Chains A and B, each alone.
Chain A
């Protein structure tokens, strides 16, 4: 089968096949068939449900934080409670939502199909990954119920090792276990992409989503073990009472920071690279054009993965690193921004002389491009040494990472969910209300986080339960935006569920996209393809065949 796009227009609403066709969803019923599945698509659905739950939980914590921050005094929550809330908001969102989101849901579902395979290389390890995620999540949830943890998601000693009275060890155990979920997922993807591509699918015929997932998987493999052992040492210090990071006993608290950020900086690229992969797929489909500069975009993903490991010290410019060390990290941090910039330009150039359709996924992609640009450029402000001194540990940093993570990553995740929803569920989502939700989310998001840049510049530190009076009005604006944002997120939750029963059935390729995933029925059968595909075309072969390649 070739990867050329189907010429037909977007299919009409009535189904072209009966609803009783066997697919991965209805091949088997019963709880055991789901909990013991090795089908990557079912595991993706399991993840979808779990991370949605985590997102709602993390979001609830955010709501309480923003409620408290409407007034300068600490009149809604106790200080300790507030500290636990922002800690757990961070932990839930980073480790239990963002890191798994695109890889574990969309990656698990799509990677084998996109490369023409029947499953991932290690389906049982894939299931194990999900169980590790659930067990880690339950332990962390227990830690929340048993009093919560208040160290910040960064667990800096000596506070975390000797001064905090909260459930540090339990949370660390939960995170340690969840970390292995991430490691095994990354391992699965790397081996799958190396060894299970369909005949004819060379590296440079791979969709950019696969390149992005591959790069992110490398980071998952190499970075996660380091944070696992670092947090384990914190737990050891707390339990045994020794002084690994305690200066009074000969330890060094800044060593923890180096070891922690060695993973946690690349972790942000684990979070964003898959999102960028989604954007590449969505933008090319709804411009009906190959992504401009395919090779460079693919190399950029790899460059981000490599350079991402070299910049961790930019979280520590005020920790007392020597001036020379700081300069090296600042220099490299500026370098790592360049591949991201290249991608943004390439996506924009893809639209040029394309045939642009403003569907919901495309709107989310546009939102991503704009908001990621802002987030990334404010990251440059943080990479600049003299300026970071002022902004470090203020709301400027909070605004920066929410722009890249929510304005960027969550928008990409939503775009991806919408784009592949027909494939995953066999149904279309309601386009009109989906667009409205996107706009609400976009407006709510900017209203929440744009004021926070100003707050940071004015000097409001982060992790503050109470704050100086003059910061109030911006905080009120931010909270107002947060309520809109929160409401906005509920709408897709509702209409996706609604669509499962009431939306029209989708055909194999409702968007007229290229890519092997659109050559199978929606939803796909358990083994994805009836016959193994053979790839002869370049990726994103939207153009008529008679077109010469223009360089």
Chain B
């Protein structure tokens, strides 16, 4: 993708250089050739030329449209992450990047990825607007509070690349930097295992049980709340008649602000959980991401029951894998 961006850049650069030279040369040439020789010079009037005007309107228009189409198609491709992208979460806050891999590995200001594998970042801010920018990959997207944004890339060469925050965010904006470290797949696997912690989904499961979500979301006949199994990315019919898709923003909103989208057939009885907010009233995005990872991983029959061995299992129940969330 970066190669395509550079190709577009070279095209635009060529057009820029061409027209700059053309105009500069013409201006200088005319200024010399038609320089005033006597104070009494009275040039003939030339008021205009419709054919000429049409030509130099049409040609720039055509070139512009070509640029537009090229740029737009590139943008569309950049906005469509491939199906097999691995998902990594990033939380931006003043003035650091917190990265979480689906298997639970956490990084601060660094992102390790395997070469040749599409990576999709789901990002949110805990305070002001930031932007995730990796110049070498030609990718950038704003990281805003209150809603997820996405950016994806496929690294093609191992190495270490700059990561910059690219939306002014206060005092240490220029220090909110880090690295993207691209490794060979085997090395990356080794790195993952060396940093193994509970996977994100497992952490989410623990939180699910701790907050006693299972009291209502029990997936039994008497459940007072919707079933969460296989919910991710399914269309959901709401009480007010609308149908929405259960994407990350929907799940996050339903957890933090349950009354906003009540599901048809259920009453609005879900509380909001103080534990998910900090002292300033800001949501704890890390915890939300854990719950999200868990919900996305839930396959039919996997809702925890009320009776659970304690401590919870070190690994998720059989049949679980981080990518099982794909429909």
Q: By the criterion CB–CB under 8 Å, are B145 and A358 in contact? A: no
Given A392-B166, A467-B174, answer yes or no on A356-B74 (Cβ-Cβ < 8 Å).
Answer: no
**Interchain CB contact (< 8 A) of A551 among B9, B26, B48:** B48
Given A158-B129, A349-B52, answer yes or no on A384-B12 (Cβ-Cβ < 8 Å).
Answer: yes
Measured in the bound complex, the distance between the Cα atoms of B42 and A420 in whole Å is 22
Q: By the criterion CB–CB under 8 Å, are A288 and B31 in contact? A: no
- Encode B312-326 as 1/0 by CB contact (under 8 A) with A: 000000000000000
List of B residues within 8 angstroms of A377 by Cβ: 12, 15-16, 19-20
Q: By the criterion CB–CB under 8 Å, are A356 and B70 in contact? A: no
Q: Give the contact stretch, choosing among B57-65, B228-236, B262-270.
A: B57-65
Q: How far is the CB of A66 from chain B (nearest CB, A)?
A: 15
Closest A-chain residue to B282, C-beta based? Answer: A248
List of A residues within 8 angstroms of B57 by Cβ: 338, 341-342
- The answer to the question of A425 belonging to the interface, with a C-beta cut-off of 8 Å to chain B, is no
Q: By the criterion CB–CB under 8 Å, are A163 and B45 in contact? A: no
Given A374-B16, A384-B8, answer yes or no on A289-B145 (Cβ-Cβ < 8 Å).
Answer: no
Q: By the criterion CB–CB under 8 Å, are A465 and B60 in contact? A: no
Residues of A within 8 A of B (CB-CB), count: 98
Q: By the criterion CB–CB under 8 Å, are B39 and A10 in contact? A: yes
Measured in the bound complex, the distance between the Cα atoms of B77 and A512 in whole Å is 58
Measured in the bound complex, the distance between the Cα atoms of B51 and A550 in whole Å is 13
Measured in the bound complex, the distance between the Cα atoms of B41 and A289 in whole Å is 11
Q: How far is the CB of A192 from chain B (nearest CB, A)?
A: 27
- The answer to the question of A435 belonging to the interface, with a C-beta cut-off of 8 Å to chain B, is no
Q: How far is the CB of B141 from chain A (nearest CB, A)?
A: 5
- The answer to the question of B136 belonging to the interface, with a C-beta cut-off of 8 Å to chain A, is yes
List of A residues within 8 angstroms of B37 by Cβ: 355
Which of A353, A373, A384 neighbours the largest number of chain B CB atoms within 10 Å of its CB? A384
Measured in the bound complex, the distance between the Cα atoms of B145 and A318 in whole Å is 14
Q: By the criterion CB–CB under 8 Å, are A289 and B142 in contact? A: no
**Interchain CB contact (< 8 A) of B94 among A163, A353, A388, A461:** A163
List of A residues within 8 angstroms of B282 by Cβ: 248
List of B residues within 8 angstroms of A393 by Cβ: 131, 133, 140, 166-168
Which of B8, B44, B61, B175 neighbours the largest number of chain A CB atoms within 10 Å of its CB? B44
- The answer to the question of A386 belonging to the interface, with a C-beta cut-off of 8 Å to chain B, is yes
Measured in the bound complex, the distance between the Cα atoms of B42 and A542 in whole Å is 7
- The answer to the question of B185 belonging to the interface, with a C-beta cut-off of 8 Å to chain A, is no
Closest B-chain residue to A550, C-beta based? Answer: B46
Measured in the bound complex, the distance between the Cα atoms of B66 and A330 in whole Å is 12
Q: By the criterion CB–CB under 8 Å, are B135 and A288 in contact? A: no
- Encode A72-99 as 1/0 by CB contact (under 8 A) with B: 0010000110010000000000000000
Measured in the bound complex, the distance between the Cα atoms of B145 and A296 in whole Å is 47
Q: By the criterion CB–CB under 8 Å, are A386 and B75 in contact? A: yes
**Interchain CB contact (< 8 A) of B174 among A356, A389, A465:** A465
List of A residues within 8 angstroms of B68 by Cβ: 330-331, 334, 383-384
**Interchain CB contact (< 8 A) of B30 among A354, A388, A547:** A354
Measured in the bound complex, the distance between the Cα atoms of B70 and A327 in whole Å is 11
Measured in the bound complex, the distance between the Cα atoms of B133 and A468 in whole Å is 14
Closest B-chain residue to A377, C-beta based? Answer: B16
Measured in the bound complex, the distance between the Cα atoms of B74 and A539 in whole Å is 47
Q: By the criterion CB–CB under 8 Å, are B67 and A380 in contact? A: yes
Closest A-chain residue to B32, C-beta based? Answer: A356
Q: How far is the CB of B127 from chain A (nearest CB, A)?
A: 6
- The answer to the question of A337 belonging to the interface, with a C-beta cut-off of 8 Å to chain B, is yes
Given A393-B140, A549-B45, answer yes or no on A352-B75 (Cβ-Cβ < 8 Å).
Answer: no
Contact residues, A339-368 vs B (CB, 8 A):
341-342, 344-346, 348-349, 351-358, 366
- The answer to the question of A390 belonging to the interface, with a C-beta cut-off of 8 Å to chain B, is yes
Q: By the criterion CB–CB under 8 Å, are B43 and A287 in contact? A: yes
Measured in the bound complex, the distance between the Cα atoms of B43 and A353 in whole Å is 7
List of A residues within 8 angstroms of B78 by Cβ: 386, 389
Q: How far is the CB of B35 from chain A (nearest CB, A)?
A: 5
Measured in the bound complex, the distance between the Cα atoms of B79 and A366 in whole Å is 42
- The answer to the question of A473 belonging to the interface, with a C-beta cut-off of 8 Å to chain B, is no
- The answer to the question of B85 belonging to the interface, with a C-beta cut-off of 8 Å to chain A, is no
Measured in the bound complex, the distance between the Cα atoms of B138 and A458 in whole Å is 10
List of A residues within 8 angstroms of B52 by Cβ: 349
List of B residues within 8 angstroms of A374 by Cβ: 16, 20
Contact residues, A223-281 vs B (CB, 8 A):
247-248, 252-254
Q: By the criterion CB–CB under 8 Å, are B172 and A389 in contact? A: no
Residues of B within 8 A of A (CB-CB), count: 88
List of B residues within 8 angstroms of A254 by Cβ: 144
**Interchain CB contact (< 8 A) of A152 among B43, B45, B139, B168:** B168
Which of B35, B64, B165 neighbours the largest number of chain A CB atoms within 10 Å of its CB? B64
Which of A288, A353, A457, A461 neighbours the largest number of chain B CB atoms within 10 Å of its CB? A461
Measured in the bound complex, the distance between the Cα atoms of B4 and A78 in whole Å is 40
Given A9-B40, A356-B34, answer yes or no on A389-B53 (Cβ-Cβ < 8 Å).
Answer: no
Q: By the criterion CB–CB under 8 Å, are B127 and A389 in contact? A: no
Given A320-B147, A334-B65, A348-B26, answer yes or no on A327-B174 (Cβ-Cβ < 8 Å).
Answer: no
Closest B-chain residue to A152, C-beta based? Answer: B168
Q: By the criterion CB–CB under 8 Å, are A337 and B60 in contact? A: yes
Q: By the criterion CB–CB under 8 Å, are B145 and A248 in contact? A: yes
Given A351-B27, A351-B31, A387-B12, answer yes or no on A550-B171 (Cβ-Cβ < 8 Å).
Answer: no
- The answer to the question of A309 belonging to the interface, with a C-beta cut-off of 8 Å to chain B, is no
- Encode A447-463 as 1/0 by CB contact (under 8 A) with B: 00000000001110111
List of A residues within 8 angstroms of B49 by Cβ: 292-293, 551
Q: How far is the CB of B325 from chain A (nearest CB, A)?
A: 23
Q: By the criterion CB–CB under 8 Å, are A326 and B75 in contact? A: yes
**Interchain CB contact (< 8 A) of A292 among B46, B169, B171:** B46
Measured in the bound complex, the distance between the Cα atoms of B171 and A151 in whole Å is 10
- The answer to the question of B5 belonging to the interface, with a C-beta cut-off of 8 Å to chain A, is yes
**Interchain CB contact (< 8 A) of B47 among A290, A319, A341, A352:** A290
Q: By the criterion CB–CB under 8 Å, are A551 and B144 in contact? A: no
- The answer to the question of B97 belonging to the interface, with a C-beta cut-off of 8 Å to chain A, is no
- The answer to the question of A483 belonging to the interface, with a C-beta cut-off of 8 Å to chain B, is no
Measured in the bound complex, the distance between the Cα atoms of B45 and A547 in whole Å is 7
Given A164-B170, A327-B72, A334-B68, answer yes or no on A294-B15 (Cβ-Cβ < 8 Å).
Answer: no
Measured in the bound complex, the distance between the Cα atoms of B19 and A381 in whole Å is 14
- The answer to the question of A385 belonging to the interface, with a C-beta cut-off of 8 Å to chain B, is yes
Q: By the criterion CB–CB under 8 Å, are B53 and A342 in contact? A: yes
- What 6 new A-B contacts, CB under 8 Å, besides A377-B19, A462-B168? A159-B128, A288-B41, A290-B46, A461-B165, A468-B162, A512-B39
Residues in A lying within 8 Å of B, measured CB to CB: 7, 9-10, 74, 79-80, 83, 150-152, 156-159, 162-164, 247-248, 252-254, 287-290, 292-296, 317-320, 323, 326-327, 330-331, 334-335, 337-338, 341-342, 344-346, 348-349, 351-358, 366, 369-370, 373-374, 377-378, 380-381, 383-390, 392-394, 457-459, 461-468, 512, 542-544, 547, 549-551
Residues in B lying within 8 Å of A, measured CB to CB: 4-5, 8-9, 12-13, 15-16, 19-20, 23-24, 26-28, 30-31, 34-37, 39-50, 52-53, 56-57, 60-61, 64-65, 67-68, 70-79, 94, 127-129, 131, 133, 135-136, 138-142, 144-147, 149, 162, 164-175, 177, 281-283
**26 A-B residue pairings within 8 Å (CB atoms):** A79-B171, A80-B171, A151-B168, A156-B167, A159-B170, A162-B128, A163-B128, A248-B146, A288-B36, A290-B46, A292-B49, A323-B75, A334-B64, A334-B67, A341-B60, A352-B30, A352-B46, A355-B35, A366-B27, A374-B20, A380-B12, A380-B16, A386-B4, A387-B12, A461-B174, A549-B47
Top 5 A-B pairs, shortest CB-CB distance: A459-B135, A386-B74, A247-B146, A9-B39, A384-B71
